[in-house]
Chain A
């Protein structure tokens, strides 16, 4: 499909953009940010904030860049005197009723009102001696507070619920400067995807109760990650404050999740902060568990892995491709049955976005696991446990019944983030990192391989499971050398046809030969 391109000049920079683009998108391509509030790339544009007014040559009036389509030869001045003056006027209007309570506002530091005010606004207000509009804070839903005093009525939240979630529970109520965002009397803002209105809100008007007053955003460290909650593989950012994960937010990826994540994924981070982690390798010596160093533990691992007899590998749904692949290689040559644990839930789509839903399969790397030979379903793998001479538990959360079966196996190796007291006779408990502490690759349901990066440091001596497995593998025979980095660990996996971390970038890549190139 060929896309017709038009040539436009924005602040002196000429760019080619697809016909039908709007000026704000074309400006972005030219490296010019047009200040805006109501415009959002994942929402319809109502052109109401009037912040993106720009001067277009031959147009009698300033035009809103968010709804003005580019035309061939168009010349746009974003930073002309006239346009800057108009936007300064809009900013002044937006601020007259804004409380300026930035010191106690969660949005402060990532607030578009602050940003554009510092960039283009006036130093002093002329709105003196009048009281500001006041409305009390409202509780909109299970995680959302509405602070109407800070609201600039950009209506992004209204449009998200109406046009994207297709559950139009929010609307502008009243007229004039009495207007506010109101929730339908009989409704709560508890849609599975409703939390996105907090991210969409350009100011501190819609707040997450979970994040309320938890941290100042300029103190946060951010890591690009992938939501481990289901097979959708939404791109997200893990925000940490001093090594503590404080919130998860969507990271834009137009191919996967646009600008959104579901509330289930958003809320599921407390396990990342668990304090009861395994911090040192534990070995079983004469019925006594003792902590040891990696040298001894890896020697034991190599010995156990090299023995004969059938093996069952039980993996949790958050295990990376690197960990899954190297665990398989560790026991290569033996009869192996491997399965990934896939908790089931209800599928909840985001109505207006094609191919985006909270999926029923609640394991991020189910499809990566399939590529790497984890084929059997969980119950049939459990059925093999009784006959197995070695069971490797890769950070799976076992039911009591499953744990009893595994405990009865002759040899058990746990690669674990937390100890399982029901498996106290395990020969080895090897401390591994959680997905928040390592880098790795998940493959989502569309066979898109996506990287995630570490957000916090690993506790104690914990190492990524691929490192543990590959070190054990290297000790198993002469001449083997273990990968030194995650990138090498990934590149060594046959299932990915020589793809590298660099190829994947931070938005991932759909595997071309994924179905054909499965390594068994």
Chain B
């Protein structure tokens, strides 16, 4: 099956600074994919490369198996600041969707706007942040895309609008089965929606996998600090926090941990994300920080 997004050695540089580097990804279709990372981690850069707004400085990216600019009719994209023409009314903005997209589904877009209770004759410039986001989403969905790329769709919304937006999005996903890539700097934003997690930090991909699989592979382990070295030998420790006697380790397990000195419990996604984000020198995708870095 053609991947939704495929990157190999993808990198983008601004002057001497890499916004994204060595990014190799293969995101499956038919999923809701959370792209999580702190501000400046390269999320916007990755999404912009995926829709051809940027060109790679290194490597290659293919969207739905094709070069990004050739596939735009099948991709809905909402940029971070939800760009829309402020002088147009809501109705005109929807009409614009039809002018620019041959496969435009006016009915679907209008239905979204009606559900969000946005007056059609209102000027875009006078919409609230939440309404603007809903309108931008309606324009993206009206294209009937196979892939929907949303860059920080809820970052500037209040909690209520945030919930409404995500609810509307999930309804749509359930209805149409569109593949969604949703970026956020907060894991909580994508918590309810994610099935697949991509973790970006320090311009690199730290983690990219199915959420269930990720949770299955990782354990939170606590126990005596003196015995930590033994555990390091058998398992990958992603992140370690020590008190004088205690060690709290997030471990990528390669088998069951049977030694009774360790207390083992499933890791939460939040712990997982934080652990990988605080291991910034990990190689892209492989997530194997060396033991020196952990003991340091």
Asked if A pairs with B, the answer is no
- Residue ranges of A at the interface with B (Cβ–Cβ < 8 Å): none
- Residue ranges of B at the interface with A (Cβ–Cβ < 8 Å): none
